[in-house]
Structure 1
């Protein structure tokens, strides 16, 4: 009986440890340590057009078709579009609200109207919402080599 109790405690502790550290890795396997909060990325770029970075943030939306892009909150109601290097990997489509760490290159880009409409379609927007997109968008974007989705 005493042995059963000890085994039960060990199993319970091991399940607890697994639950606390579980994460999923996509693309190049990276560490989640040392990431800059997404809310600080724009200030860190300080006028640079492009910069290598490791960033942590909260997922605001994901491509509903394949998980081929995601938007990460950067603060003040803004988001940063994240794509994946060489279209080489995707993220799960059910990670909205989860914390991610991504490593790659941050860049200030101008997204053309056609691409913005494509993203809106992927996000499941209505035809009316898509047709309201009439201006290109200059924004902070990120091309990730690897992504950790924290659970």
Structure 2
């Protein structure tokens, strides 16, 4: 932390919302540092963003083929084409699915959300399990496989404005997939 001073806000962030899963960053050894006072992302009391060290979060594991896993290991959820989910979101609401696509954009504040686009499908918001883990901010354009719970809930105007201030474009849709694990290739 700058000057070795740890603010009460950072301590509160470490003790809330992330379920005790602090982000792991390479480089300076710093965990994270608050960067703005924007609305919480997913729920009342969810943490604000924090600034990642320049090298970004460490993957949970690196696979033999060089792919990097962030968050939890992918489970046995059925593989569903993103185009099927976007065509019938209510059919999948509440279900845990595995899907694939190309990362179109990533939260540039911290890596706590991405937008994933599949073949013949619009981009879908993918938050990272309520800030339980983060993606590197430079993975746009990469292929990804995700696993998470499908949600169909419109964003509040404040949340929409907050996400758009971070570069999000897929904010008009009420569809999102709350990722518990992401494999970046």
Question: Does the TM-score normalized on the shorter chain lie above 0.5?
Answer: yes
Is 1:145 the counterpart of 2:185 in the alignment? Answer: no
Q: Which residue number in structure 2 is paired with residue 5 of structure 1?
A: none
CA distance in 2, matches of 1:76, 1:62: 20
Change (3 A) 1:118 1:55: same
Match 1:116 to one of 160, 166, 183: 160
Q: Which residue number in structure 1 is paired with residue 127 of structure 2?
A: 83
Report how many residues are paired: 123
CA distance in 2, matches of 1:74, 1:124: 17
Match 1:41 to one of 82, 85, 94: 85
Change (3 A) 1:74 1:110: farther
Please list the CA deviations of residues 63-113 of structure 1 after superposition, one character each: whole Å capped at 9, or x if unmatched.
Answer: 011111000114556211000113110011111111111111012110111
Secondary structure class of the residue paired with 2:111 = coil
5+ long unaligned stretches in structure 1: 1-17, 126-135
Asked if the contact 1:23/1:148 (under 8 Å) is kept, the reply is yes
Higher strand share: 1
Asked if the contact 1:32/1:101 (under 8 Å) is kept, the reply is no
Deviation at 1:138, TM superposition (A): 3.9
Asked if the contact 1:100/1:148 (under 8 Å) is kept, the reply is yes
5+ long unaligned stretches in structure 2: 1-61
Change (3 A) 1:119 1:111: same
Per the normalisation by structure 1, the TM-score is 0.68
Per the normalisation by structure 2, the TM-score is 0.57
Q: Which residue number in structure 1 is paired with residue 53 of structure 2?
A: none
Q: Which residue number in structure 1 is paired with residue 146 of structure 2?
A: 102
Is 1:73 the counterpart of 2:108 in the alignment? Answer: no
**Once superposed, what is the RMSD of the aligned Cα atoms?**
3.0
Change (3 A) 1:90 1:32: farther
Q: Which residue number in structure 1 is paired with residue 8 of structure 2?
A: none
